[in-house]
Structure 1
Amino acid sequence: MSVANSQKKEGVRGSSLPRPFLPMTPTRLCRYLVPRGLLGRALLIILVPLVALQIIALFLFYGSHLDVISRRLAGAVAGDIAMVVELLARNPHPEDRGWIFREAAWRLDLSLAFETGAALGSTGNRQASLPLLPLEEDLDDAMRERVRLPFDTDWQTDSRSVIIRVQLPDGVLHVEAARKRLFSSTLYLFVIWVVGSSLLLFLVAALFMKNQVRAIRRLAEAADAFGRGRDIGPMKPEGAAEARQAAIAYNSMQSRIRRFVESRTEMLAGISHDLRTPLTRLRLGIAMLPASVQDDAAAMTQDVEEMDRLIAAYLAFARGEGTEQYAPADLAELVEEAAAKARRDGAQVDLALPTEPLVLPVRADALRRCLGNLLDNARKHARRIAIGLTSVPREESGSWAMVTVDDDGPGLPEDQREDAFRPFATFSAGGTGLGLAIARDIARAHGGDIVLEDSPLGGLRARIRLPV
């Protein structure tokens, strides 16, 4: 594949085409609004029925009970005022007003005053003083129904009473009625109780669900860490019975896997010893051969060294570098060390590293082996190698550390690239078929991966992705 064709394909792959506009359907809107986490969804399951129930309760209360009580209280006050107006009409003498006003103050809890010859001007301030309650409208309706005279109301002058002025034939009657006759404090107490109980229930549910989700989250983190080779020990069972059961099953699984790895490692150590002992005897026997067969001895020595190298590669693949622990390391330094080793082996390596350190928790020796395998694979098939290191953001959180190894070799067909990672799969003479398999195994153990792509140099690109 030529450089121009590879660059053309690379440009098509990396181009950002505008995405078609997708209409916001109800299904897509619900999927966008519903939380993704278990805690958010559990709280939503609790919150939606709770809010719906409280809304229905408030609607029924305000739509029926509150309306009836408000109209009855307003009708009682308007009826008392209508009675006073009727008494004043039947007893028009000034001396009769005194006993009417005294009786109204004592029996009806109304403070009365009369302004002779006055007339109503502009209407009183009708600004609502008690929000969410229909007091003003109900009082006006009751006054129009029972008094049937011009009037206005003042809700702002006195915070403890409402002033009602009624136009009589010979003046204006001032009536001061206590607000407690029109309003019951239990109305607000009911609203406070409904809202407060909802908030309290939601808070208790949030704390409870947070503890349950925390147990599941810790189990997921422990499983992820164990899958990457980090020994964090057994989990402490906590939370609900199902979460405790999952933690106990995880601890049992972890113990079984650890025993399996230890027994396999011991077996591999024995195999290594058993295989290398006869190889050592062969080396000694070849070295003691007479000078007349030294040419044949040299070829035999090369075969023995090849067998030793193959055995070391097989054991390294089976062992999987599982004994090394994670520790913070600068990925740029590891890449630079691998590039320097490749140069010492005779490769032409171009290096492009960021100016800032890129520190992340890794198994340094295993990652050196991963980079070394990729560089050895590129060095066998190409004359020029280019290594790059960048950091790109992840969709969920954090970022990815991207290491690219490009070469100008013959490349590999796209339908054979995934097969190249299979153990013992060889596409050229002289290889064991384990280099890429070991490299991908190490990258995936770190939570990343390795993919093969077209290289801008015309050959093959190996892209390593590691979580930061």
Structure 2
Amino acid sequence: MTTLAPARDGEGRQFDAHPVATMMLDPTGTIIAVNPAAQNQLGLADRQLVGRHFSDIAPDFAGREYPASQVMRAFDVALALPGRTLALDILAETDEAGRTVVALLPARSADATRAAAAQPSAQGAAVILAHEIKNPLSGIRGAAQLIASGTPDPARFTMLICREVDRIAALIDRMEILSSQRSLDLHGASIFPLIRHALDLARAGFAADIAIEERHDPSLPKASLDEDAFVQILLNLVKNAAETLAGQDDAKIIVSTGYRHGHSAGRGPDDRPRDAPIMICVSDNGPGVPAAILPDLFRPFASGRSGGTGLGLALVDRLARDMGGTIEYARDDTRGLSHFRLMLARAE
């Protein structure tokens, strides 16, 4: 994976010229370099920061580990600065030598701003509803065709049809989520039966001709989620991958799960950081998201495909946030894979 910024030794000029506010930490978490953008962002000179432990200014990070070659993202982190507190999002990546690059980004938890941007007009809500209903309808049609063709397990696909009809009805009701503050039914549940159901639906419908590989960590604890919302998120992500891969001979989708220590989803009502360590990742070997739409990837009507509505990822983002989690995108050009990672809290 490409690091966010080079180390100072040998490429200090590039580090200093990096437009993103960036710090470098040594393996102990001590700040060893601060670029000018970060100095401006924090209102502190490098001499006031270099030599201090990162947790001195980011208390939420005290005792946290930084696994090598993994990106850790935390939202709405409160930085303790002289005479004030500054909320920023943090993106951290550790190289094999144990050095960590920390990017300081404008707080995504302008949640009110993002939520307002996600509020559709009445016409937009109708378009989103039509878009979302097409996913289960595709699966229902595929399941019905399998039953008609004499599948050896008709009961399984009959139950799939029944569940999806019920879910369409629930989806229509849930459209209120995009224009109201109604809470989801959050509770502790295993993600694996829900993943199985969503992938059964995808394989019976819109992803019937695409290889879907599963890589799971069976030891994962229960996650805090709403079951219908979770299935809707996974369906949208797999459908998005399938549409990206249309016409590609070696098309492949990978659905993987894992546990990422230290991943934060902002701050809870008690002002404590909310951990969201349970990861569900949908990857594909397509071309990736066009750079032009990356800043607005999860906003309504942002789409990189001809004929795309840009609505599926907007709903994914809203549902993920309403479940106390996050959704993020990353591109691994070395392996030629795009990753959409849903991060959820562990059930209490």
Whether the TM-score (by the shorter chain) exceeds 0.5 is no
TM-score, scaled to structure 1: 0.34
More helix per residue: 1 or 2?
1
More strand per residue: 1 or 2?
2
